[in-house]
Structure 1
């Protein structure tokens, strides 16, 4: 709605838009990522699947699925998507704050 565009006017001063969706098909997330891209932001997406609408919109897409983790996580009712997302964000923050490669 209209309030979404007000929120995006604040974002226009930023360069990066990060979108997270397990399926990559969540309509609201894909829509906001498209708006961000249309106003010139770089869109980074994190999804579980390789091919999905959010991945298509993104300038950089991280597929967060590991069969070994997924198999182990199913037994423990823990999502491999969330586990991988937390790990990747930790690694990216480490690199950003220390300048070290990961």
Structure 2
């Protein structure tokens, strides 16, 4: 995955847009890399938002894990995000992503 991520990074530095990353995201190698990364985190023993700790996932085979994640992501469609540049304390600007659902509420603040 390192080569893939390096390529994406270089293309992003060149201001290239990406429209279809789902094949990369749902690839077996990426899912297993993400799992290993999460598992190695200091807080990985803490239950997730579903209330299940990582040991529940460890009981599954790699194939079961990959297939479940791929099936959950199969029809995933990200929501649009409104970009707004906000000023930092040091005078520089940073981007803020506002999910579409909150867009109307946030517009009042800017």
Q: TM-score, normalised by structure 2?
A: 0.31
Greater relative contact order (CA < 8 Å, ≥ 6 in sequence): 1
Q: TM-score, normalised by structure 1?
A: 0.32
